[in-house]
Each structure stands twice: as C-alpha cells, then as structure tokens.
Amino acid sequence: MPRAIILDRDGTLNVDEKGYTYKLEDFRLYPDVIPALRRLQQKFLLIVISNQSGIAIGRYTQKQAKAFNSKLDRVMKENGVGIAGFYLCPHAPEEQCACRKPNTGLLMQAKLDFKLTLPKSYVIGDSFADVGLAKNAGCAAIYLERGSTIDEKKARERADYAAKDLTDAAQWILKGE
C-alpha cells in the first residue's frame, strides 16, 4: 500500500500574503517547493488537502479555487512533479463539517482513493490544523515555520518535527527512510 505526503496548499506550497489566495495572478510558489517535492515523490504519493473557507463566505467560488489548483498542478507537471490528488474543503469553520482540517474527512477519502498506508505517511503544513489532521489520522506531523500562525507555539510543540522550509522537511523525512 502506498505512502503519501499530504500537503497543505496556501502558505505551504504557494505564498499566501493576503489570506485568501485564489486569484491566478497571485500564484507564486515558494522557491524550495519544486526541488523538495521532486525528491519526495520518488518514495511517496503527493496529495494536496486544503481548507478553502473563502468559498463559504463568498470571497471566491469553488470554480476559482479549482482553477487555482489546476494552475498549481500544471506548474508542478511542467517542473517534473506529479500531484496525485487535490482535495478541498469549501466550508466555514462554524459549519463543523467532517472535511475541514483538522477533521479527517478529506484524508480518509484520499486513503480510499489511493489505498494509502497512513501510519507511514506524513502531513506537512503551516498551521495547527495541519498538525491536528496528522495526529487525528495517525500520520507523522511536520509543521512548516513559514510565517506566523496564531497557534504557532502549540503547532511546533505538537508536531513530530518543526521544519524551517520544505527542503528541511524533505531531508528529515528521507533521513528516516
């Protein structure tokens, strides 16, 4: 059964300066993303799981969010990186859905879709919700210290590893292989 690297999108793969990144003209990957994912994809499936509450509050549409994912997917492919799947939660936090991180609904769907071995998989993200998703699903949690998050200290303490960037995260994962 395959193992996966579960990646957050905004603030992990792409720069998220304004809070709700959905405009194609705002698309900008962090410089370390492509090289790190090239290394990781040699041993893991790459899957993106993203909370997109901007849809629920009317900031943008699901179509716009999917167009952003399509651009991300295209840029990845052009650079030799294959994303196996994209999963997004369109709900606001107060809706208390099963798919919004740290809940495991989307990750369980990915597990079914790809027959994943979760205890040998990793979640990488820049928020406490990403760390919570990993813990709730039985995956290893890597907290990316890309910027500030409200619960940064809690995320760092609860994560299995706190990485300064995606290169650092990839090195830590592959060192344990």
Instruction: For tokens 């410089």, name the residue.
Output: 31
Cα 96–97–99 angle (5° rounding)?
Answer: 135
C-alpha closest to that of 15 among 29, 31, 34: 29
Is 10 one of the catalytic residues?
yes
* Catalytic position from the list 8, 16, 126, 130: 8
Active site residue 8: yes
Q: What is the CA radius of gyration of the chain?
A: 15
CA–CA separation, 172 and 155 (whole Å): 17
CA distance 142 to 130: 8
Distance between CA atoms of residues 91 and 75, nearest Å: 27
**Residue that is written with structure tokens 């994303």 in the block:** 83
Q: Which of 10, 16, 126, 130 is catalytic?
A: 10
The residues annotated as belonging to the active site are 8, 10
